[in-house]
């Protein structure tokens, strides 16, 4: 069985320039944009709603991405939309939320259904964004539940751009080294 698979006729749509490690699992209605990357041990499960991952976004090791289905408890459900140039740190859980461009989600953070992170949000490691919470962009947010701490410095804003670009460069190094990962689910 491949690590990139369909579910009930819904197939992952993966840009040819995207990178998916062979130990990651991508299922169902998932779109992965140009230059995006998914690292070892990630699970991206678009089985009951859609998941969209934008260009140059990186989903780091051990992260879990899922959604909520349409029901009387959540009319319309909650898709997961991660825009371009986003960095999702190690072991993050994103569930039915929206992460706008140039955000960084710190290691072990959790972002729940219908929460929104506006552009240039830095969410600290271990933080919890509760259902429906909206994090104003341009700020550092920390804690459980996440609270606004301070305005980002110019250097931090630059870093949010840098880290996404750096992961695109890292993918090129992995491709050059023939590590066995591919976008097809078959070793190279």
The whole model's pTM is what? 0.93
Query: How confident is residue 177, by pLDDT bands cut at 50, 70 and 90?
Result: confident
How far, in Å, CA of 63 to CA of 59, rounded? 7
The count of other CB atoms within 10 Å of the CB of residue 8 is 8
pLDDT in tens, 16-53: 999 999 999 999 999 999 999 999 999 999 999 999 99
pLDDT value of residue 186: 37
More confident residue, 158 or 1: 158
Mean of the per-residue pLDDT values of the chain: 94
Long-range contacts from 178-181, C-beta under 8 angstroms, 24+ separation: 180/22, 181/19, 181/20, 181/21, 181/22
Give whole-number Cα distances, 164 to 1, 71, 103, 135, in Å: 31, 35, 9, 20
Q: Which domains does the chain have, with CATH numbers?
A: 4-178 (2.160.10.10)
């Amino acid at each position: 069985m491949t690590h990139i698979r369909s579910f009930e006729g819904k197939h992952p749509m993966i840009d040819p320039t995207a990178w998916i490690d062979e130990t990651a699992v991508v299922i169902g209605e998932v779109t992965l944009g140009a230059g995006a990357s998914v690292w070892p041990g990630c699970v991206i499960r678009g089985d009951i709603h859609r998941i969209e991952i934008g260009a140059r976004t990186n989903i780091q090791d051990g992260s879990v991405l899922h959604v909520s289905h349409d029901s009387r408890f959540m009319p319309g459900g909650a898709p997961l939309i991660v825009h371009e140039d986003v960095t999702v740190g190690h072991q993050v859980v994103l569930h039915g939320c929206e992460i706008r461009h140039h955000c960084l989600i710190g290691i072990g953070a959790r972002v729940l259904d219908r929460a929104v992170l506006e552009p240039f949000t830095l969410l600290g490691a271990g933080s919890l964004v509760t259902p429906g919470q909206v994090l104003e962009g341009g700020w550092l947010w920390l804690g459980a539940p996440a609270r606004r701490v301070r305005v980002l410095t110019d250097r931090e804003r630059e870093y949010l751009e840098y880290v996404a670009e750096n992961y695109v460069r890292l993918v090129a190094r992995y491709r050059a080294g023939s590590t066995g990962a591919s976008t097809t689910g078959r070793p190279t």
